[in-house]
Each structure stands twice: as C-alpha cells, then as structure tokens.
C-alpha cells in the first residue's frame, strides 16, 4: 500500500463537501444537511496518489469510502491470482459498504488511478444515530442491489 495522507475535516471542508455531494452521492440519499454534517464530523479526509492501493482484497477494516475528487478502479483476483477490473469509480462513488453489512474481509482491491481525495467513514459513525443508520442501510442495500444486477447482466452477456 502506498503512502497516503489522513486528516480531520475542517468545518469549511464539511460545508464544501456537503454542498458538492449531498445530491450526487447515493449513499447519502435522503440524509438531511444536519445528518450529513453529523456523519461527516466523524469522518477523515484521505488523499492517495495515482497507483496507490487504497483497499487490499482479503484485508479487514470497518470503513466505507466516498470519492470526492479523483478516480479509482476495483479489481478482484481469480483462483490463479490474475486480477480483473470490476469497476471504474469517480467522484461521488462509494466503496467498502459491504464491510459495514457483513464484517467479512474485503472482496476486492481498490487502487487510485488519479489523485484521489476520499471521505473515510468509520462503521461506528454510520450506526450511532438510529435514523441515520436506517437511511444509510437502505442506501447501501440499494447500491449493492444495483451492483448485483449489473454483475448478473455482465455474466449473461459473456455466455
């Protein structure tokens, strides 16, 4: 894993991010401005350089990430160790949500393909407020359902 920078958000950062992303990030759908500020007050800003490994397949952690700037790819290794790209991510996309639901090891690796600024949200922040928890869990369910449908389509197209 490459070197990365981690820092707390300033109030100005929170305001800028909130206005930029509240309507564009599916995991934040239906959160009020105050709920989003409360959630982000427990988050960290992480910066990765192109080529840096953000998440490693098989590792464990209990964080979800949202890309505020930059791009990344999601890749998974097959039984021979060959990695295949599953998705390209950009500003507004999230990843790591599955760890909030099942606590299993990471199912894929995520690598920065451009300078990436991420919001790193700990699991504890997602579940501390029952109203926010319900909204996030519903949004994560929608995201995972959409990804499953896309994977099904991809499998059918290959056959």
- Tell me the per-residue pLDDT of 50-89, one tens digit each, with 9 for 90 and over: 999 999 999 988 899 999 889 999 999 988 989 889 899 9
Q: 21: number of CA atoms within 13 Å, CB side?
A: 24
- Pair 128, 40: CB distance under 8 Å: no
Q: What is the pLDDT of residue 41?
A: 82
105 contacts 60 by C-beta, under 8 angstroms: yes
Tens digits of residue pLDDT in 84-122: 898 999 988 999 988 878 878 898 999 999 999 999 999
Q: What share of the chain is helix, strand, coil (3-state, %, to 5)?
A: 40, 30, 35
* pTM recorded for the entire structure: 0.81
For residue 6, name the pLDDT band (cuts at 50, 70, 90).
Answer: low
32-40 long-range CB contacts below 8 Å, 24 or more apart? 35/129, 35/131, 35/132, 35/135, 38/129, 38/132, 39/121, 39/125, 39/126, 39/132, 39/136, 40/9, 40/14, 40/119, 40/121
Determine whether 7 is exposed, middle or buried from the number of CB atoms within 10 Å of its CB (0-12, 13-18, 19+). exposed
């Amino acid at each position: 894993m490459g070197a990365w920078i981690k820092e707390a958000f300033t109030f100005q950062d929170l305001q800028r991010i909130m206005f930029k992303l509240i309507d564009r990030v599916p995991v934040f759908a239906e959160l009020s401005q105050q709920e989003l500020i409360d959630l982000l007050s427990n988050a960290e800003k992480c910066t990765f350089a192109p080529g840096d490994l953000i998440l490693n397949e098989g590792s464990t952690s209990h964080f979800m990430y949202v890309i505020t700037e930059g791009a990344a790819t999601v890749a998974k290794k097959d039984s021979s160790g060959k990695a295949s790209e599953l998705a390209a991510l950009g500003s507004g996309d999230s990843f790591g949500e599955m760890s909030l639901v099942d606590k299993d090891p990471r199912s894929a690796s995520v690598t920065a393909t451009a300078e990436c600024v991420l919001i790193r949200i700990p699991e504890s922040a997602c579940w501390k407020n029952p109203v926010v928890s319900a909204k996030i869990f519903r949004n994560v369910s929608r995201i995972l359902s959409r990804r499953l449908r896309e994977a099904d389509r991809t499998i059918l197209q290959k056959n």
